[in-house]
Structure 1
C-alpha cells in the first residue's frame, strides 16, 4: 500500500485536498522504472523517469485507460538520440490499438532510419538541417503508412471502429522532428528576451473543425457535424450511418472511415533547438481539454524535481476536470516531458513568477473560451500553485523509497528500482 499525502491546490479560488499524486502508486506501478532493451541496444522506457525524461499516465473515469506512452533512449543505436510518443486510443478496442502502435511504431521507425554521417567542420548548417529534416520526414511518413497497413493483419485487434492518435518526436543533437496524427499535442518551453518561460505550440490539433481537414473528409464522402448535446465538438461520420463520430480527422485504424477522408499521414514539424529552449511536453487531449499551453508550461516550470514533472501535470489536469466539468467523466491523461538540460535550482520559480505571455498564435486564448482561428478551444483560467503541493510529493516519494529500502533489506525480493 502506497504512502499517502494531502496535497492542497487552489484553482480559481477553490481548494481541493486530494490524495492524487501518490494514489496507489505501488499498486499501479506508475512510480517504478519499467525498461527493456530495443533495436540496436536502445533503452525502452514505459514508466518512470531518467536524467532527461519524465512520463506518467493516469486512467480517467471511462473504464480502461486507453492512453499509452513510450520513450526510447539511444534511439537507432545513436547515443543521446531520443524518441518520445504518446498515443490516445478510442473505440471498443482503442486501448489495444494504442498499446500495439506504441510498441511497434518506434521499432519500425528505428529499423527504417539510416543514420547520416556527422557534418564536417565548416559545413553549412542550413544544409545539415534540410538533409536531416527531409530524411526524418520521409521515414516518419513511411513508418506511419506501414503501421496503419499492419493493423489490418493483426487478428487480435479489431481496428475497424477503433483506433489511436499519435504525437511523437525524435531529438537528435539540436534537431527536433515532431510528427502528429490526431488531437494530441506537443509544446515547447523556451525563454524569451526577458528570460521568462513561454510556450511555443509545435503541432496543430488535427480535428474536423480545421477547414482543410473538413474539406478533405467531405471530398471523400465523409460527413462532419456536431451532435446537439455538444454543439462545439465537430465529429466525423460515415456517409450513410451516424457512427463512429470521431473527434479527430487523422488516426491509425478506424478503417470504417479510411475511404471517407480519414487518413493516417502525419503532419511533420521541425525545429532547430537553441540554448533558450528548455523542454518539450507531449500529452494526450485529456490534458489539453482543460489546461492551456501557458498553464502547462507554468506547471512544468514550477517543479523542482524533473522526474515528477509529468505526474504533477496530470494531477493538475485531473483537478481542472473536476472543477470545470464536474458533471463529466475525467478523461485519460498521458504525458511525456523531455528536458534538454538539467534545471539549476535558481531557474525554478512559482507559477506567479512565470510569464503567461504566449509565443504562438495557436494559443491566443479567447476571453470567453471560444474557438481560435485554428478551430481549437482554449479555456482560460487562473491557476495558483501552493508550494506545499510540490513539497508533499517530495515527502511522500522519500517516505516510500525508505519503506521499499527497508523491505529489500529484510529480504523482500519483490522490490523494484525507484525513479
Structure 2
C-alpha cells in the first residue's frame, strides 16, 4: 500500500510507505485481522492529519478481531477526547466502547462475544505534529526504530508495548483483587482458558457477564473465579498499556506491528534488521510484511501471523 499522494508541507512527517502481510500458518482458520487507515480516509476531520494502524489477534473465533478491525477506528473518531488532542484518553475510551458494543451484541444476538476475544496493538500518528500514540491489550506488539538517513541502518530499536500475561505479578494481583484466580496448567499460566490478562471481548471474564447467574454462559469464568458473583470484578481487563512520543521532523523511522505469531519466533532487533535489509533491496512495505509472516509459516505448529510495516520520513530528514 504505497502512499502516492503528497503530504502537506506543514506536516512534520511523511508516510512514505505502509503495507501488511498475513499467513494462516498451521491453524485451522485465520483469526488475525489488521486495519490501515490513511489520513484521507480517517473517519473524522481534525486539526492534524491522522493515520491509524492496528493488528487484532483473535482467539476462540475471529468474531471479535473482525468486529474490532472494522469498528475501533470509527469509535475512536467519535470520541470527544480525540478532537481535544488527548489521544491517550480517546484510545482508552474507544476500547471500552468496543467492548460495550460487543456486550450489546451478546445480550441481543449471540453468546460468541463471551467466548471469543482478541488482542490489540494500535498506533495513532498525527503526521502534522509528529505525535505517536501506541496502545495494546495482550501480546501483539509495536516496535519502533530510527533509520540512518545515509545508510538506512536501523538503530534505537525499542518495543512500545507491554505483554499482558497472568503470571506478571501486577496482573496476577489485579486478577485476584477482582475475585479471579490464576492457575498453571501444562506449564502455561492461565486466567481460565486464556494465557493473557487483557483483551477485547471474552466477556465471560468481565462484568456484567461474569456476574450473571446463568452457568451455561459463564462456565469457564466460574472456573476462573474464587468469589461469589456479587463481588466479581473484571478478571480480564480492557484497560490498555499506552505510550506516547513525538517523532522528529529531521529523522526517519520504521514502525512494525506484529501479532505473537511473529514476535514469539524472533526478537525485536533481528526482526527490524531483517525488515530494513529487505527494504534496502528495494522491496516495498507490503512485500516486506508478507515475507516476514511467510517465513514463520514453514515452521511446525506455526500460528496465525500478521505484520504491518510503515516507513515514516521526517519532512526535513
What TM-score, normalized by structure 2, do the two folds share? 0.75
Which has more radius of gyration? 1
Does structure 1 retain, via aligned residues, the 8 Å contact 2:22–2:293? yes
Does structure 2 retain, via aligned residues, the 8 Å contact 1:164–1:252? yes
1:129-278 pair list within 5 angstroms: 132=85, 135-154=86-105, 155-156=109-110, 158-172=112-126, 173-191=129-147, 196-198=153-155, 199-228=157-186, 231=187, 233-237=188-192, 245-258=193-206, 259-274=233-248, 275-278=250-253
1:77 to partner: Cα distance: 3.2
1:318 to partner: Cα distance: 2.7
Does structure 1 retain, via aligned residues, the 8 Å contact 2:24–2:297? no
Q: Which runs of 5+ in 1 are unaligned?
A: 1-31, 34-49, 117-130, 238-244, 343-419
1:306 to partner: Cα distance: 2.4
Aligned residues: 260
Does structure 2 retain, via aligned residues, the 8 Å contact 1:190–1:277? yes
SS in 1 for 2:114: coil
Deviations along 1:152-182, whole A, 9 cap, x unmatched? 1122561111111111111103110011111
Of residues 45, 61, 76 in structure 1, which corresponds to 2:26? 61
Does structure 1 retain, via aligned residues, the 8 Å contact 2:154–2:276? yes
1:316 to partner: Cα distance: 2.4
Q: CA distance change for structure 1 residues 193 and 218 in 2, over 3 Å: closer, same or farther?
A: farther
1:62 to partner: Cα distance: 1.6
Q: 1:106 and 2:82 equivalent? A: no
Deviations along 1:213-258, whole A, 9 cap, x unmatched? 1110111222223222xx2x32112xxxxxxx21111011112211
SS in 2 for 1:100: helix
CA RMSD of aligned residues (A): 2.5
Structure with the bigger RCO (C-alpha within 8 Å, sep 6+) is 2
Q: Which runs of 5+ in 2 are unaligned?
A: 3-14, 207-232
SS in 2 for 1:102: helix
1:260 to partner: Cα distance: 4.7
In structure 2, what is the Cα distance between the partners aligned to 1:81 and 1:156? 34
Q: 1:77 and 2:31 equivalent? A: no
Q: 1:305 and 2:305 equivalent? A: no
In structure 2, what is the Cα distance between the partners aligned to 1:277 and 1:211? 37
Does structure 1 retain, via aligned residues, the 8 Å contact 2:149–2:251? no
Q: CA distance change for structure 1 residues 145 and 260 in 2, over 3 Å: closer, same or farther?
A: closer
Of residues 38, 56, 59 in structure 2, which corresponds to 1:90? 59
Q: 1:334 and 2:306 equivalent? A: yes
In structure 1, what is the Cα distance between the partners aligned to 2:167 and 2:111? 29
What TM-score, normalized by structure 1, do the two folds share? 0.58
SS in 1 for 2:174: helix
Does structure 1 retain, via aligned residues, the 8 Å contact 2:138–2:199? yes
Q: CA distance change for structure 1 residues 157 and 298 in 2, over 3 Å: closer, same or farther?
A: farther
SS in 2 for 1:77: coil
Q: CA distance change for structure 1 residues 255 and 309 in 2, over 3 Å: closer, same or farther?
A: same
SS in 2 for 1:314: helix
Does structure 2 retain, via aligned residues, the 8 Å contact 1:151–1:157? no
